[in-house]
């Protein structure tokens, strides 16, 4: 397959990149998005199912292997197309769609055979999630989907659907975290059924609850700090900077002791 295109340029490129870098797992190429895609497919289906069709130039073999657990032909074609789109132009939409199709493949497998909790945790490591510690992966995540929890939510919703046999509302990337809504007194499930305009209105109320300015360019990160502070101290009056509020709280306590001392001195005098 050195000089031939397998299915499309994107598919050929990602398989070649994986084969060229697999013996050097710490390399940038081995941790690139295309190589991670192949690693994810191998984790789901096994190396033979993924590499053999490529090495024998059998495109229909890859289609057969990827749909063997019930992953639809339609989604397979979408997956192939999105890889080509990303190959030609790295963008947020194809980046997210590729990962969603990988999740669909994993869930399809889970519907057919027993998948352990440990395997689910391993699968998560292939995704581009907010808490990922892989520096190479974090660069692309921060470039295309900074602070997004869309993939995490998509995986969790699919796992929930698979367990309870019903479909959840599609996640909206504009949504804040579940903790943010719950602490501010809103129902996260109801919010996910609202329009984006309605969600933006609720988001503004959440930011106001945590005393975060509308024009703060870093307000999502500020919100996370405020939530952590609230969970730790249970104080809704927060600037979003835990250390600032700690100083304010210390000041209030010190002032209170000073007043009590003055009163005590006068009474004893």
Contact status, residue 237 vs residue 211, Cβ threshold 8 Å: yes
Instruction: Identify whether residues 157 and 62 lie together within a single domain.
Output: yes
What ranges make up the beta strands (E) of the chain? none
Q: Are residues 93 and 194 in the same domain?
A: no
Segments forming the whole domain that contains residue 202: 174-269
pLDDT score at 197: 81
Do both 18 and 132 map to the same domain? yes
Axis crossing angle, helix 219-233 with helix 242-268, rounded to the nearest 10: 40
Question: Same domain, yes or no, for 179 and 169?
Answer: no
Q: Which pLDDT score, from 0 to 100, does residue 7 have?
A: 92
pLDDT for the residue 214:
80
Domain total in the chain: 2
Say yes or no: 43 and 102 in one domain: yes
58 and 150 fall within a common domain: yes
- How high is the mean pLDDT in each 10-residue block of the chain (269 residues)? 80 92 88 95 96 93 94 95 95 95 96 92 95 92 92 90 65 76 83 79 89 82 84 60 48 53 55
One domain for residues 128 and 189 = no
Torsion of CA 41, 44, 48, 51, to 10 degrees: 0
Does 147 lie in the same domain as 58? yes
Q: What pLDDT was estimated at residue 239?
A: 45
156 and 200: one domain?
no
**218 in helix, strand or coil?**
coil
pLDDT (0 to 100) of residue 260: 53
| 269/197 same-domain check | yes
Of 117, 143, 173, the residue that ends a domain is 173
Report yes or no: 80 and 19 within 8 Å, Cβ to Cβ.
Answer: no
Last residue within a domain, chosen from 173, 190, 213: 173
Residue whose pair of structure tokens reads 């998948």 in the numeric block: 115
| 256 and 210 fall within a common domain | yes
pLDDT of residue 123: 97
Q: How far apart are CA 36 and CA 38, in angstroms?
A: 5
Q: Are residues 81 and 201 in the same domain?
A: no
Domain stops at, among 144, 173, 202: 173
User: What's the confidence (pLDDT) of residue 4?
Assistant: 80
């Amino acid at each position: 397959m050195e000089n031939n295109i397998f299915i499309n340029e994107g598919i050929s490129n990602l398989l070649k990149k994986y084969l060229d870098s697999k013996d050097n797992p710490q390399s940038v190429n081995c941790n690139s998005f295309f190589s991670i895609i192949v690693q994810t497919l191998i984790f789901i289906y096994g190396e033979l199912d993924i590499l053999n069709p490529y090495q024998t130039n059998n495109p229909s073999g890859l289609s057969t292997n990827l749909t063997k657990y019930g992953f639809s032909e339609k989604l397979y074609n979408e997956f192939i197309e999105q890889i080509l789109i990303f190959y030609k132009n790295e963008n947020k939409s194809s980046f997210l769609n590729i990962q969603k199709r990988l999740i669909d493949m994993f869930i399809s497998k889970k519907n057919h055979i027993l998948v352990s909790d440990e395997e689910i945790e391993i699968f998560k490591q292939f995704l581009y999630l907010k808490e990922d510690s892989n520096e190479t992966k974090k660069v692309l995540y921060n470039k295309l989907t900074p602070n997004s929890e869309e993939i995490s939510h998509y995986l969790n919703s699919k796992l929930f659907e698979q367990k309870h046999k019903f479909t959840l509302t599609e996640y909206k990337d504009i949504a804040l975290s579940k903790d943010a809504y719950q602490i501010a007194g809103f129902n996260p499930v109801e919010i996910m059924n609202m329009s984006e305009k309605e969600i933006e209105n609720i988001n503004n109320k959440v930011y106001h609850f945590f005393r975060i300015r509308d024009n703060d360019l870093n307000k999502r990160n500020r919100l996370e700090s405020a939530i952590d502070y609230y969970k730790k101290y249970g104080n809704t009056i927060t600037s979003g900077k835990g250390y600032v509020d700690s100083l304010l709280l210390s000041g209030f306590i010190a002032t209170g002791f000073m007043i009590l001392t003055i009163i005590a001195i006068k009474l004893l005098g």
